[in-house]
Amino acid sequence: MSPVFNRRTVLTAALGAVAVSSTPVMTGMGATEARATSKGDLFNSNTHLYKTLSGQEGIQYGRRYKRHELFDNERGERSPYQRTTIMAMHGGGIETGTSELCLGIAGYKPDTLEALFPGEPMYDYWMFEGLRLPSMNLGSNRELHVTAKHCDDHVAISMAASSLNVLSLHGCSAEQAGVRSGQDPKVVVVGGLNAAFKKLLHQELGKHYKTVDGDDFPDLAGVNPENPCNRTMLGKGGQLELSTELRASFFDKDTLAGRPGSTNDEFKKFVGACRKAIARLEAGSDQVIL
């Protein structure tokens, strides 16, 4: 099995301290307001962020990814290819909960990276995470947001380009998703350019949660061709925008350190629904490349 690349090497002690902090709000769901556009972004690309914060990977931000090993030595058969990659472009403390969802849908327990669904498929994943803590006095993790269509991380783009499908996880506010006062704020917006994938996501997630279509919310639609979710081998993919309240319902602890080990039954239910949609998509007729 190929290694898991985890550049979060400096924060181990600091994250342990956060778990017992009496002021966790700055790393919790209410720490930053979700933003679905580039308005207010300090960085116009990932490259811009990496250069500006040179030497700060593992301190202010982190990248994690895994590519599963493929091997084909059969001359008469098609070479294998990656079918589905899961992404969280604004993980960690930026759009909280999306890192853990990315790992869960990929098939991993967020805290131990053991199999969450033993015997079931494991998917490639890529994520960018905001790692700033209040004690660092470095500003908000929200300042590390790079809107999806401006993502130019070479690993992220190459993983999307070599996959048939991408499912990208994002966070939004209930108001951005059209929820009015007095309505249940737990909602997920289904977007992306893959109409078949969207239909399956609506069907599977709709069994348990309120889903709305991204076509009704242009800022959340995930239809820009430069968005990595659509930079696949098929030129289309899926995107989910989860409201703050929905993401909060998946965890029993609302801190950067606490979330990975405090996922609950709602988390596994949501993750399982996404995986069912992926399995049905992968069984479809457009999933064969000659």
Residue range 201-206: mean pLDDT, rounded: 98
**pLDDT at residue 70 above 70?**
yes
Residue 71 binned pLDDT confidence (cut-offs 50, 70, 90): confident
pLDDT at 21: 30
pLDDT at 3: 39
Model confidence over 138-189: pLDDT tens digits?
Answer: 999 999 999 999 999 999 999 999 999 999 999 999 999 999 999 999 999 9
What is the 3-state composition of the chain as percent helix, strand, coil, each rounded to the nearest 5? 30, 20, 50
How far is 283 from 83, CA to CA, in rounded Å? Answer: 11
pLDDT above 90 as % of the chain: 78
**Pair of tokens at residue 53:** 């914060």
* Residue 19 DSSP class: T
Determine phi and psi for 249, rounding to 5 degrees. Answer: -70, -10
What residue has token string 């960085």?
43
- Distance set, CA 5 to CA 56, 127, 165 (Å): 16, 11, 21
**pLDDT at residue 111 above 90?**
yes
pLDDT at 12: 34
Residue range 250-274: mean pLDDT, rounded: 97
* C-beta of residue 201 within 8 angstroms of C-beta of residue 274: yes
Order of strands across the sheet that contains 187-191: 5-6, 61-66, 124-130, 82-92, 163-172, 238-243, 187-191, 210-213
Amino acid at 158: S
Q: What is the dihedral of CA 282, 284, 287, 289, to 10 degrees?
A: 150
Quote the mean pLDDT of the chain. Answer: 87
Model confidence over 6-65: pLDDT tens digits?
Answer: 443 333 333 333 332 322 333 455 444 455 556 789 999 999 999 999 999 999 999 999
Please state the pTM of the whole predicted model: 0.86
How far is 275 from 50, CA to CA, in rounded Å? Answer: 32
**pLDDT at residue 2 above 90?**
no
How far is 24 from 257, CA to CA, in rounded Å? Answer: 10
* Residue 143 DSSP class: G
Residue 289 binned pLDDT confidence (cut-offs 50, 70, 90): low
pLDDT at 31: 43
**Pair of tokens at residue 88:** 């969280």
Model confidence over 277-287: pLDDT tens digits?
Answer: 999 999 986 66
pLDDT above 70 as % of the chain: 84
Q: What is the CA radius of gyration of the chain?
A: 18
Helix (H, G, I), strand (E, B) or coil at 83: strand
